[in-house]
Structure 1
C-alpha cells in the first residue's frame, strides 16, 4: 500500500481522551466523515468530483498513536483506483494541501500540556470541555479534584488560514488568462481551501476564494483552448 505513516507517543496523563477530543474536532472541521472502506474504519473526505478522495486512519492506545494518510485515484464517481501516498508529481497541488493537513493534525496531537506556563503535574486528572468562553481556536480541559483547578488550555484546529489562502489563490488564479496552467493550479487550491475554510470565522472570505477559484479555472481553460485554436489556425 502507498501510504504516508507516522508513529509517535502523546505524553499526557489523559492521553487517550485528549487524542480523541482533538482528533474528533479536527476531522469535523476539515469535513472528514468516519466510514468503513474496504474493511477498514477510516476518515474520508471527498468523493473525487474535483480532487482525489483523501483518507486518514488513526489508531491510538495508552498514548501511542499510529496514523496513516493516503489518496486514491478516481475512474468514475465511487469507482476508485490505486492508492497514492503524499509524494510525486501527479496531483501535486492536492497532495501538498493534504500533506499540510496531516502535519497540522500531528502538531495538534503533540502539543505540550501546560498550566500557567508550566507542564501539568501527572497526578491531575483533567476532564475535557469546550466552554462558552473558549476562543474559537482553543478548547479547554477542566481539571477535576477536591479544589477548583485552573482550566488547562488545549489548542484545537482552526481553518481560518485556509480561508485566507483560498482568497489569495483565487485572486492569483485570475492571472490564468496569461498563464493558463498557473491559473488552473491556483484555482484548484482556492476551491479546496475555500471548502475547508467555510466553517471558520472567515467563512465569507473562504466563499469568495471558492468562487474566484472556479472563475480562474474557467478563464484558464478558455485561454488555453483559445491559444490552441489560434496555433492550429496558423498551421
Structure 2
C-alpha cells in the first residue's frame, strides 16, 4: 500500500502552474478536502468506484505530486487490485503533467522589458488548458447504449448509464458541452429505466 509520487522541475512560473492545475482539477470534478491533516484534491465518494486522491504542491517551478486511490487502505497506480480506477487516475495524472510541460509562448519582443513597459498592461499569454472532449463522446455513446440495454439487461444498462452521467458531468466543461449534456441526460434516463425494468422483472417473477 503506497502512493504514486513524482517530483520534477517544470521550469514554469508558479502562477502558470496554479492556473493550469486548478482549471484541470475543476474540470475533472475534483474538490479540495482535508485528508489526515493534509489539503488534497479528491474525486468520487466510493459509490461506484474507489475515490481518487491527488496531493499537489509547487514552489518556484518545483512540483511534488502524489496520487492514490482509497479502498481498504491507500493504493498507488500500479498493481492488479483496483486496476480500473487506478488506470483512470493514471490517465488524469498523465494529462495534468502533460499540460504542465507545455511550452509557454514568449510575448512578442522577447522577455526583456521595454522602456514604456510599466505604463502598458501586460499582454495575455495563451496557454493550453484541459479540454475533456473525449469524456463528452464517452457520455453520449454510453448514454445511448445504457438506454437501449436498460430494456433487455438492466444491470448492464445501469452501469453504462452511470458511466454516461459521470463522463457527462466532466464533458460538459469542455468545448463539446452539448454532446456531453445529451449523454448526461440519456444517462439519467437509462438509470431510471434500468431500475424500473429491474423492478418489473422482480414483480413478473413473483407473479
Common fold: TM-score over 0.5: yes
Higher RCO by CA contacts (8 Å cutoff, separation 6 or greater)? 2
Query: Structure 2 vs 1, CA of residues 110 and 182 (structure 1 numbering), >3 Å: closer, same or farther?
Result: farther
User: Alpha-carbon deviations, 1:84-130, whole Å to 9, x = none?
Assistant: 333455554433333222211111111112237x9x95xx38xxxxx
User: Alpha-carbon deviations, 1:155-179, whole Å to 9, x = none?
Assistant: 1122333222211222234464667
> Which ranges in structure 2 are unaligned for 5 or more consecutive residues?
none
**TM-score, normalised by the number of residues in structure 1:** 0.66
Verify the 8 A CA contact 2:131 2:175 in the aligned structure 1.
no
Query: Structure 2 vs 1, CA of residues 145 and 33 (structure 1 numbering), >3 Å: closer, same or farther?
Result: farther
Root-mean-square deviation (CA, aligned residues, Å) is 3.7
* Aligned match for 2:170, one of 196, 204, 214: 196
1:70 deviates by 1.3
1:182 deviates by 5.8
* Aligned match for 1:187, one of 157, 161, 168: 161
**Would you tell me which structure has more strand in proportion to its own residues?**
1
Q: Take 1:85 and 1:186, find their aligned partners in 2: how far apart are those partners? A: 26
Whether 1:167 and 2:158 are equivalent positions in the alignment is: no
Q: Structure 1: which 4+ aligned runs deviate by more than 6 Å?
A: 178-181, 218-221
Verify the 8 A CA contact 1:176 1:217 in the aligned structure 2.
no
Structure 1 counterpart of 2:86: 95
> Which ranges in structure 1 are unaligned for 5 or more consecutive residues?
74-80, 126-143, 231-235
**TM-score, normalised by the number of residues in structure 2:** 0.74
For 1:1-235, what aligned pairs fall within 5 Å after superposition?
A: 1-12=1-12, 14=13, 16-73=14-71, 81-115=72-106, 124=111, 146=115, 147=117, 151-174=124-147, 176=149, 183=157, 186-216=160-190
1:55 deviates by 0.9
Pick which of 197-206 and 161-170 moved more.
Answer: 197-206
Query: Structure 2 vs 1, CA of residues 187 and 88 (structure 1 numbering), >3 Å: closer, same or farther?
Result: farther
Q: Take 1:60 and 1:52, find their aligned partners in 2: how far apart are those partners? A: 26
Q: Take 1:7 and 1:102, find their aligned partners in 2: how far apart are those partners? A: 13
Query: Structure 2 vs 1, CA of residues 167 and 53 (structure 1 numbering), >3 Å: closer, same or farther?
Result: same
